[in-house]
Structure 1
């Protein structure tokens, strides 16, 4: 039984790339096909995998070029990949991985992190929606074409996996899949994080510095709270603008190694998560560090956190209802009056361990392909040791 893994591109570090690493651990002998690969910009663990790139590798190996040349070059490059002789093709995608070609009879399982944003949610590009009417019209026309192409490509998928309930609904609305969408929550690398007894006085944001991440909202609030400190970890297109905007109580960091990032999480008062994400891995990383989250209460955060209602010791997050400075300011001041339990938070996040993700993925493949695992040793000699975790009722 032969398996191939396909991912959009490997030129960044993010939640989708962590999912691919978990897939690789489940099927370590499966090659990973991708648009392009930059070993210096993504996780170093990929260096041990068999990475196969498209011809796009010759013209672009960074996130900016992937976005700039996506239509039509990235789409055509992914379309040029023909996978022959595989029984299962396991796709991880937000944009172009679904364009690969496979043999008739190959079972295609797609872990869709989100339907292609530019095609299905073009209005979410606020910077373009603020342009003049001609630019907006051309952009929306292009989005309509991409939506049609994207939906056609989605038909080669036999089974869809989603990261959350909200994303399950989005996949169903966009692609009308012929089989039930199954939710398998992405994991957090628990071994990378720890609980510290030396919590400091700063709040934390870990994010790419892009408009939809709403880091500017957090900075605006902390600009009015000079007695509170904010640490922002990340980089992106808004970096210079945000640094100019911020006052002295806001510190920017980037390029942290794993040890430094873990310490930064472990010693923070709380992670602030102001954006609406399809899933969001950073709240789980904070939880793995025993730290609570102050979050905008929409999107994937609803699947991963236990919101405070009346008992903070049995909660992992405090939600605010609006993406406004007033709502976030109120939440921060309310947080100061609460006492979250770091050990409870760390215990709760065991539900999102990588071993559990791998077990659920293996179980799903076994259910859709009976007899798969008796033949598994033909392509994999790795076994997984699974640690039993105490069950916590998420809404107790």
Structure 2
């Protein structure tokens, strides 16, 4: 069976991009995407990627233009190639918000692997406030397009119970299956803690990285290491210059990141309504506990008081209390690693291949 994968864009690779990359390599399936920044994506080398190589690819840093171009690419430009995909492939996997617009034009077997909340949810978030009122653009132009595209799929698979519930309530569809996203547990290893907490995230307001950093400004005896990039990078950098216990590393290599996981006390990840969250499971893969928010799909991967802690709001005060008293908690590296293996990429690929064949 020849499969092709459609994904919005590869600029900074997040959890969704990692999943697409794993599927692509296993299925030997090419990826079709709008924007692609090879310089930032060493982890997806040896993957066959077809992308929009027009002049607009140079303007991907301008959010409004990136949005408009991605919609045009999947809803109009690729339409000219629908016969090529229908004749040369047996199935297609879609991931993202905008790639699904092309699904309406395909006659082959189509699966939508849902890895995020609906587009309307995303446009409500703070990082999408702009000169353009995204909410109205969605209502006027994208809402019907999104709905029609979703109903064109042969099968929908959600990456968590949380996402399944959201889509069923929002669109009135029946999500066929839940398959949790994979973590490559074989890459990680355990080392004795070196007395720091780790935050790995894209630096956006909805990720609550500012909340975590603020907590550590009030606890100078506790160290925080932050890895990631995004709009809040300048703010985090200034904090790290002002407070000696906060260290901002920006982007790091995969080898360095794995080492940071191995030597930390715990990973903190309290993102707003996270669809699932791979970072806590990467922490567990290294034998380390994760501190997560009690919302979204984050609670589905963590066993409370065994492989991590689940925080209730208010997050700032409750996180501060947990960090100050962290020595009172006891976690087994064996329990953490065992939990992570439930989500290993071998389990994911076995489950996904079964759905693809069916």
| Structures share fold, TM-score greater than 0.5 | yes
2:262 corresponds to which of 263, 266, 276: 266
Partner of 2:167: 171
Contact map agreement 2:35 2:60 (CA 8 A) in 1: no
Q: Structure 1 residues 138-147 or 187-196, which shifts more? A: 138-147
SS of the residue corresponding to residue 21 of structure 1 reads: helix
- The aligned runs of 1:1-396 (5 Å cut-off) are 1-28=1-28, 30-45=29-44, 47-54=45-52, 57-60=54-57, 64-65=61-62, 67-79=63-75, 80-81=77-78, 82=82, 83-85=85-87, 86-93=89-96, 95-101=97-103, 105-117=107-119, 119-125=120-126, 128=129, 138-145=133-140, 146-177=142-173, 179-196=174-191, 198-246=192-240, 247-276=243-272, 277-308=274-305, 315-367=306-358
**Structure 1 residues 176 and 54, CA gap change in structure 2 (3 angstroms):** farther
What's the offset of the Cα at 1:109? 0.3
Q: How many residues align?
A: 347
Q: What is the alpha-carbon distance in structure 2 between the residues aligned to residue 121 and residue 127 of structure 1? A: 8
SS of the residue corresponding to residue 151 of structure 1 reads: helix
Runs of 4+ more than 6 Å apart: none
**Structure 1 residues 104 and 209, CA gap change in structure 2 (3 angstroms):** closer
- TM-score, scaled to structure 2: 0.90
Mark the runs of 5 or more structure 2 residues left unpaired by the alignment: none
SS of the residue corresponding to residue 226 of structure 2 reads: strand
The alignment yields a C-alpha RMSD, in angstroms, of: 2.1
Deviations 1:171-200 (A, max 9, x none): 2123333x543111111111221011x211
What's the offset of the Cα at 1:361? 0.6
- TM-score, scaled to structure 1: 0.82
What's the offset of the Cα at 1:335? 2.5
Contact map agreement 1:37 1:61 (CA 8 A) in 2: no
**Structure 1 residues 126 and 322, CA gap change in structure 2 (3 angstroms):** farther
Q: What is the alpha-carbon distance in structure 2 between the residues aligned to residue 266 and residue 201 of structure 1? A: 12
Deviations 1:226-278 (A, max 9, x none): 11111111111111112223411100012322221111111101111121311
What's the offset of the Cα at 1:219? 1.3
Contact map agreement 1:205 1:232 (CA 8 A) in 2: yes
What's the offset of the Cα at 1:161? 0.9
Which is helix-richer, 1 or 2? 2
Larger radius of gyration: 1
